[in-house]
Amino acid sequence: MAVPHQVTGGSHPVDQHGVEPGTEHRRLRIAMIGQKGMPATYGGIERHVEELASRLAARGHDVTVYCRPSYGSVPMDRYRGVRLRQVRTVASKHLDAIVHSTTSTLAAMRDRPDIVHYHGLGPGLVAPLPRYLARSKVVLTVHGLDQQRAKWSRLAQTVLGTAHWLSGYVPDARVAVSRGLANHYQTRFGSSASYIPNGVGIPRQVPARQIGPRFNLTPGRYLLMVGRLVPEKSADLLVRAFRQVDTDLRLAIVGGSSFSDDFVARVRAEAVDDPRVVFTGFAYGDLLAELYSNAAGFVQPSRLEGLPLTLLEAASYGLPVVASDITPHVEVLATDGPGHRIFRDGDADDLVRALRQVAADPDAERTGAKALRDRVGAEYTWDAATAELEALYLSLLPARKPQLIRPRRRPRSEPDG
C-alpha cells in the first residue's frame, strides 16, 4: 500500500550545500532510474534529476543515477557528488526507455538501495520488480501523462496506458510535479501523490555574441519557443498564428526532432515563405542562456505538459510569457495579463490576439513579467523540492536508529556542473 504523504512547495533556510542549518540526518542509498543521464544537456527530466540528485548528495546521501549510452558517453564516474552508472539498452524509439529501465533496475537491486526512484510513467513499468522482490521502497515521479503524447503509436500508447494504471497502485509513493497531476491521481485512482514542483535557478545572463552571426537574431527583437518538436508542443500552431501578426519581431524556434521527423518537416513547411521564422535546432549551455537573455518574449503553446521547466526558466529571465491555458501553465501564470498572457488551448485566433498584445506594448509586458519573475523565483526552488523529497523518502522507511551524518562537502577537484 502506498504511504500517504502530502507536501507542498515552500522556502527553507539553507546553507551553500542546500542543507538546513544545524540538521543531521540518516544516510540513504538512492537509485534514480528513467532519466537519460547526467550531466543534463537537454530534457526537463534530466535537469530535474540532476538538480535533485546533486542536492541529495550534498545532504550526505549516496545517490546513483543510471545513464543511457544514447545520451552520450559518461565523462566520469561521479558528477556533482552523484555516482553515474551507464548500463546497456537498445537504442530505438520504442525499446530504449523500457530496456534501459529494466537493466538499470536489475543493476540497482544488486546494490540494495533504500529507495528506487523512477522518473516517468514508462520506466515505472518495471517498478513491480523492486516493489515486490526487494526491500527497497519504490517512488515514482509523474512528469506528465505520457500515454497521451501524440508521437506514440497506438501500441505504444496502450503500453503507456498500462504504465499509467500501474503508477496508481504499485509505487510506495508517487510524486507529482504539478497540482493538476496530483489531483489526477486522487480522482482517477484514489491514491495520494505528493506535490513537489520543479524548481528554477538564478538565470545566467549572457550577452549577445552567437545569435547574430548564427541566426541573424537581434537582441530584444525576437520571440522564443524552446522544446522538442513533437505534436503536443504545438510549434505548428505557433507558426500559423505568428504569420498573422504584423510585426518586425522574429520567431526563434529552439529544438529538434524526438522521433518526430515527419512533424518537424510539417512545421518547417508552415514557415517556408516567412523569413521571420528561424529554426535553431537544439541549443544548450551558453547558447541557450544567450537566447533566453536577449529575447523579447517567450511562447509556450503546448497542449500537454507536466510542469515545464522551460516556462519557469523563461519567467526567471523576466521574459513576457504567452502560454496555452492548460492546467500546469495556469498554475504558474495564474491569470491573463501584461507579462503573462494566456490563450485558449489549440485556438490559433486567440494565440494571435496574445502575440499582438505582447508586440504592441513591450514596456507594459516587461513590467508584468518582472512581477512574474519575482513570484516564480520565490515559489519554485530546487532546495525546497530537495528537502520535501528527502522527507518523503524518510517517511517510507521503517523506524530504526538513524545513522547521523553531516552533509558531504564536494572536493575542490570535482566539477560544479
Q: What is the number of domains present in the chain?
A: 2
Band of the pLDDT at 2, cuts 50, 70, 90?
very low
Q: What is the reported pLDDT for 7?
A: 40
Give the pLDDT confidence of 252-300 residue by residue, as tens digits: 999 998 878 999 999 999 999 999 999 999 998 899 999 999 999 999 9
Are 301 and 340 in a shared domain?
yes
**Neighbouring C-beta atoms of residue 374, cutoff 10 Å:** 13
What burial letters (b/e) apply to 289-306, b meaning 16+ CB within 10 Å? Answer: bbbbbbbbbbbbbbbbbb
Instruction: Please check whether residue 7 lies inside any domain of the structure.
Output: no
Are 56 and 195 in a shared domain?
yes
Q: Three cell numbers at 71?
A: 545520451
Range of the domain at 288: 211-378
Give the pLDDT confidence of 22-61 residue by residue, as tens digits: 445 689 999 999 998 888 877 789 999 999 999 999 999 9
Give the pLDDT confidence of 151-202 residue by residue, as tens digits: 667 777 788 889 899 999 999 999 999 999 999 999 999 989 999 999 999 9
Band of the pLDDT at 216, cuts 50, 70, 90?
very high
CATH code, 388:
3.40.50.2000
Give the pLDDT confidence of 308-335 residue by residue, as tens digits: 999 999 999 999 999 999 999 999 999 9
Are 185 and 239 in a shared domain?
no
Number of H helices and E strands in the chain, helices first, is: 14, 16
Are 170 and 257 in a shared domain?
no
Q: What is the pTM of this model?
A: 0.86
CA quadruple 149, 317, 363, 225: dihedral sign: negative
Are 140 and 215 in a shared domain?
no
**Neighbouring C-beta atoms of residue 59, cutoff 10 Å:** 25
Are 373 and 385 in a shared domain?
no
Are 174 and 74 in a shared domain?
yes
Are 178 and 84 in a shared domain?
yes
Are 185 and 263 in a shared domain?
no
Instruction: Tell whether the model's pLDDT for residue 204 goes beyond 80.
Output: yes
| Radius of gyration of the chain measured on its C-alpha atoms | 21
Instruction: Please check whether residue 413 lies inside any domain of the structure.
Output: no
Band of the pLDDT at 405, cuts 50, 70, 90?
low
Instruction: Please check whether residue 20 lies inside any domain of the structure.
Output: no
Instruction: Tell whether the model's pLDDT for residue 233 goes beyond 80.
Output: yes
**In this structure, are residues 366 and 320 in contact, taking their beta carbons and an 8 Å threshold?**
yes
Are 349 and 247 in a shared domain?
yes
Average pLDDT over residues 125-137: 95
**In this structure, are residues 317 and 200 in contact, taking their beta carbons and an 8 Å threshold?**
no
Are 155 and 231 in a shared domain?
no
Instruction: Please check whether residue 12 lies inside any domain of the structure.
Output: no
Instruction: Please check whether residue 71 lies inside any domain of the structure.
Output: yes
Are 386 and 372 in a shared domain?
no
How far apart are alpha carbons 343 and 329 in whole angstroms?
10
The mean pLDDT of the chain is 88
